[in-house]
């Protein structure tokens, strides 16, 4: 999901190289130049060193140049096999090194790796442009495209042809030469700006702020495990005897939920809220402004009114207008609900004799109090039942009950960090499906948030299936002292969410790389979000929610409270998500006026966002859209929520949340996703178009 670019001079040099396919000498001590001899041929992380990446990138580029040249030099008429399939199979070495380098640059980076990323990124961007703007290659792709219905191709082959033609068209292959040169320059600048935004956001989150507490009285209200974790952070930072809280959510959110010191809650939250907007070397306002202007220029160059129109054109939504229509359907009831939640909290503040109005940094604190008062439930009651290892067991139980698959823990696979866990995933009969990496805790070199990625995607070569190597990366609460990693319920659902992405990648089985598992951006969160539903089902809770000290299964009384409070704070959660989604759409549909803060304020004022809630991500640290591949696409979480609520409703309506017939159909959806349009794939599963009603009901907005 990283985008990459280069200067015009370097572009010209590499373009010339495309015609000569210069061979790069390969040092066979470099692990990328040898077939992996590890179990299941996973990357040999223990052998890979920083100096191995650049030679492998250069060699990978040279190899693919030669592969492309073999296609364009072919004197035979362009066919599916000698053009489309040959292109589909090209670039193995480059894929291998890129999958390792960029995944680790997100999960386990350092200054040297980031510096290397700034060298590698433009090379890869230029290489991609040189492929997608290669006239001879496009001529052959176009020739196959134009006669695709006369070549006796099957439906999947026709789809691959159409998708590749669309890729070339959307990459500027039909533009005149002068416009292509302009596009190359834009791609170069865009790739470097996106990389810079991500680096700044990482530094602002992990390096440039910490709340150091040296007065124990300031810890009042915090649970013992939170205090212990803060002491561990302080000790790791050579601040023995003190307590440190960071902008990582496992550290920040418990403080906002439980700390009675309002001034310190404000200080910590403002540190979070102001990331990338502090006028320092990591300030993101200038790079953000540059990004949106470059994207607008690129979109118009390619014939679209704005960047959102360009992005959404290949999604299920098709137009920005359809996106905004869905978001606003939810916005009005969600905002009304959030206002009621705010009023409930203000009433509690007044009842306690507080002489202040609720503000942003108060929301989590008073939400906990209101939840306790309404449902006799708070996070501290739940966390002892959510030991990380048990939650993993719950996810595995769910996957096994749905699909019959097994997870075999492995300790013999190379890992890139000592905390990483590895599993082999098998069918019920023992057949190998793939390898699953799990990386759960924050560290200095890890980006914020949670995501799923692949070190190797499913594919076929010489008729043999290449199985996937999948990874989920999270930032969950660490173990502390003799207390294991105890998760919040939000972290529990995040683990189930990311495992849903992993199952999608593990189950994918398509004959062509271009289409296997390749779905529209507003479909991609369906496999993940539907898994969240099982996390709170009583049957599943009774399997994994066990007290970390006694082993006692979570009592029915607590499950009932959790069920009754399921719609609690849904106004807030929905509003902050929708506000960020609408802000994203404004950034990519409305011309930028040059003032980031004024632009954001105008966007939020327009929809009536109340001052007590900020969008889930403010512009200067909105990495999803400015460095993470979700530009004009943060709405996809909401679009997919309609799908996942409707899909899970099929299980609920059947009376069996593990209904084997429905589970089999859903696995087919995961396996064959990419073989047809997103809505067609969904309707094949559901038998009808999705309804918004189950989502409104789930959130209590109807």
| The pLDDT of residue 3 is above 60 | no
Please write the tens of the pLDDT for every residue from 126-184.
Answer: 999 999 999 999 999 999 999 999 999 999 999 999 999 999 999 999 999 999 999 99
Per the DSSP assignment, residues forming a β-bridge with 470 are 436, 454
**247-273: average pLDDT:** 97
CB atoms within 10 A of CB 150: 7
More confident residue, 222 or 2: 222
Residue 455, helix vs strand vs coil: strand
**Residue 233: predicted pLDDT:** 94
pLDDT band at 19 (very low <50, low <70, confident <90, very high): very low
Q: Tell me the C-alpha to C-alpha distance, in Å, between residue 377 and each of 258, 370, 374, 383, 561.
A: 14, 9, 8, 11, 7
Q: Tell me the C-alpha to C-alpha distance, in Å, between residue 341 and each of 370, 489, 573.
A: 9, 20, 11
Question: Do residues 268 and 256 touch, judged by C-beta distance below 8 A?
Answer: yes
**What is the topology classification, in CATH, of domain 384-564?**
1.10.1370
Closest CA to 585 of 299, 308, 328, 318: 308
| The pLDDT of residue 256 is above 90 | yes
Question: Do residues 385 and 379 touch, judged by C-beta distance below 8 A?
Answer: no
**Residue 11: predicted pLDDT:** 29
Residue 424 bears catalytic tag: no
**60-89: average pLDDT:** 98
Please write the tens of the pLDDT for every residue from 337-387.
Answer: 999 999 999 999 999 999 999 999 999 999 999 999 999 998 889 999 999
**Residue 190: predicted pLDDT:** 97
CA contacts within 13 A on the Cβ side of 177: 1
Does 8-132+134-170 match 384-564 in CATH topology?
yes
**Residue 23: predicted pLDDT:** 60
For the domain covering 8-132+134-170, report its CATH number.
1.10.1370.40
**Spacing of C-alpha 40 from chain mean position:** 26
Average pLDDT taken over every residue of the chain? 94
Q: What is the largest CA-CA distance in the chain?
A: 85
Domain ranges of the chain: 8-132+134-170, 208-273, 384-564
Contacts of 130 (CB under 8 A, 6+ apart): 11, 14, 15, 18, 65
| The pLDDT of residue 503 is above 90 | yes
Residue 67, helix vs strand vs coil: helix
Write down the H helix ranges in 620-674.
623-626, 636-654, 660-672
**Residue 28: predicted pLDDT:** 86
- Measured CA to CA, the distance from residue 189 to residue 346 in angstroms comes to 48
| The pLDDT of residue 659 is above 70 | yes
Q: Percent of the chain at pLDDT above 90?
A: 95
Name the DSSP letter for residue 385: G
- Measured CA to CA, the distance from residue 454 to residue 502 in angstroms comes to 9
Q: Can you point out the beta strands (E) in 16-71? A: none
CA angle, corner 612, sides to 611 and 618, nearest 5? 75
CB atoms within 10 A of CB 562: 20
**262-271: average pLDDT:** 98
Question: Do residues 597 and 332 touch, judged by C-beta distance below 8 A?
Answer: no
CB atoms within 10 A of CB 557: 10
Residue 428, helix vs strand vs coil: coil
CA contacts within 13 A on the Cβ side of 620: 24
Q: Tell me the C-alpha to C-alpha distance, in Å, between residue 529 and each of 503, 518, 639.
A: 12, 17, 11
Question: Burial, 605: exposed, middle or buried (Cβ in 10 Å; 0-12, 13-18, 19+)?
Answer: exposed
- Measured CA to CA, the distance from residue 640 to residue 412 in angstroms comes to 37
Please write the tens of the pLDDT for every residue from 43-74.
Answer: 999 999 999 999 999 999 999 999 999 999 99
pLDDT band at 414 (very low <50, low <70, confident <90, very high): very high
pLDDT band at 12 (very low <50, low <70, confident <90, very high): very low
pLDDT band at 79 (very low <50, low <70, confident <90, very high): very high
| Catalytic option among 194, 296, 498, 525 | 498
Lowest mean pLDDT among 6-20, 230-244, 463-477: 6-20
Residue 236, helix vs strand vs coil: helix
| The pLDDT of residue 2 is above 60 | no
pLDDT band at 27 (very low <50, low <70, confident <90, very high): confident
- Measured CA to CA, the distance from residue 604 to residue 615 in angstroms comes to 8
CA angle, corner 134, sides to 130 and 135, nearest 5? 160
Write down the H helix ranges in 73-173.
86-88, 92-107, 111-132, 135-146, 155-170
Q: Which helix or strand (DSSP H or E) is residue 72 part of?
A: helix 50-72
Please write the tens of the pLDDT for every residue from 198-215.
Answer: 999 999 999 999 999 999
Please write the tens of the pLDDT for every residue from 549-567.
Answer: 999 999 999 999 999 999 9
| The pLDDT of residue 628 is above 70 | yes
**274-299: average pLDDT:** 97
**Residue 702: predicted pLDDT:** 81
| The pLDDT of residue 13 is above 70 | no
Question: Burial, 513: exposed, middle or buried (Cβ in 10 Å; 0-12, 13-18, 19+)?
Answer: buried
Q: Which helix or strand (DSSP H or E) is residue 471 part of?
A: strand 469-473
Which residue do the tokens 């390096």 mark?
A: 207
């Amino acid at each position: 999901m990283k985008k990459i670019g280069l200067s015009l001079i370097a572009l010209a040099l590499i373009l010339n190289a495309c015609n000569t396919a210069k061979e790069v000498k390969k040092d066979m001590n470099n692990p990328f130049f040898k077939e992996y001899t590890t179990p299941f041929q996973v990357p040999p992380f223990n052998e890979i060193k920083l100096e191995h990446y650049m030679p492998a990138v250069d060699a990978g580029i040279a190899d693919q140049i030669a592969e492309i040249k073999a296609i364009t030099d072919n004197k035979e008429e362009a066919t599916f096999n000698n053009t489309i399939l040959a292109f589909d199979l090209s670039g193995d070495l480059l894929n291998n090194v890129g999958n390792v380098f960029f995944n680790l640059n997100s999960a386990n980076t350092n200054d040297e790796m980031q510096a290397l990323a700034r060298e590698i990124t433009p090379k890869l961007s230029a290489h991609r442009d040189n492929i997608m703007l290669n006239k001879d290659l496009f001529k052959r792709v176009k020739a196959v495209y134009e006669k695709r219905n006369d070549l006796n191709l099957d439906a999947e082959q026709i789809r691959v042809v159409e998708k590749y033609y669309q890729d070339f068209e959307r990459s500027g292959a039909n533009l005149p030469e002068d416009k292509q040169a302009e596009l190359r320059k834009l791609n170069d600048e865009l790739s470097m700006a996106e990389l810079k935004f991500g680096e700044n956001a990482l530094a602002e989150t992990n390096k440039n702020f910490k709340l150091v507490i040296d007065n124990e009285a300031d810890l009042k209200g915090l649970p013992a495990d939170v205090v212990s974790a803060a002491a561990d952070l302080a000790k790791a930072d050579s601040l023995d005897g003190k307590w440190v809280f960071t902008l990582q959510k496992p550290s920040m959110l418990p403080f906002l939920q439980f700390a009675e010191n309002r001034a310190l809650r404000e200080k910590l939250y403002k540190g979070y809220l102001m990331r990338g907007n502090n006028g320092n070397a990591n300030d993101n306002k200038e790079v953000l402004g540059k990004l949106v202007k470059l994207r607008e220029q690129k979109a118009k160059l390619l014939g679209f009114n704005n960047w959102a129109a360009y992005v959404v054109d290949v999604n299920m939504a098709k137009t920005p207008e359809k996106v905004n229509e869905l978001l606003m359907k939810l916005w009005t009831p969600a905002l009304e609900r959030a206002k009621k939640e705010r009023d409930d909290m203000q009433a509690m503040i007044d009842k306690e004799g507080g002489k202040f109005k609720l503000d942003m940094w108060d929301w989590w604190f008073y939400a906990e109090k209101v939840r306790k008062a309404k449902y006799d439930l708070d996070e501290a009651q739940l966390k002892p039942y959510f030991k990380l290892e048990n939650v993993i067991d719950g996810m595995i139980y769910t996957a096994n009950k749905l699909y019959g698959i097994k997870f075999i823990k492995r300790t013999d696979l190379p890992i890139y960090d000592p905390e990483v866990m590895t599993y082999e995933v098998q069918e019920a009969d023992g057949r190998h499906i793939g390898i699953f990496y799990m990386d759960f805790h924050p560290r200095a070199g890890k980006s914020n948030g949670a995501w799923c990625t692949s070190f190797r995607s499913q594919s076929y070569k010489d008729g043999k299936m290449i199985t996937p190597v999948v990874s989920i990366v999270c930032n969950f609460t660490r173990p502390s002292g003799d207390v294991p990693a105890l998760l919040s319920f939000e972290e529990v659902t995040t683990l189930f969410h990311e495992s849903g992405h992993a199952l999608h990648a593990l189950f994918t089985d398509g004959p062509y790389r271009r289409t296997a598992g390749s779905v529209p951006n507003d479909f991609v969160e369906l496999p993940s979000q539907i898994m969240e539903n099982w996390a709170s089902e009583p049957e599943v809770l009774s399997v994994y929610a066990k007290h970390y000290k006694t082993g006692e299964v979570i009592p029915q009384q607590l499950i009932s409270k959790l069920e009754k409070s399921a719609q609690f704070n849904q106004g807030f959660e929905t509003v902050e998500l929708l506000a960020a989604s609408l802000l994203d759409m404004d950034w990519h549909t409305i011309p930028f006026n040059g003032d980031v803060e004024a632009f954001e304020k105008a966007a939020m004022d327009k929809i009536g966002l109340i001052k007590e809630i900020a969008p889930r991500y403010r512009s200067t640290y909105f990495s999803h859209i400015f460095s993470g591949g979700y530009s004009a696409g943060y709405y996809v979480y909401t679009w997919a929520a309609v799908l996942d609520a409707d899909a899970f409703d099929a299980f609920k309506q059947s009376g069996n949340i593990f209904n084997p017939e429905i589970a089999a159909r859903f696995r087919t959806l995961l396996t064959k996703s990419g073989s047809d349009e997103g809505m067609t794939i969904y309707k094949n599963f559901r038998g009808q178009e999705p309804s918004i009603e189950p989502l409104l009901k789930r959130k209590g907005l109807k």
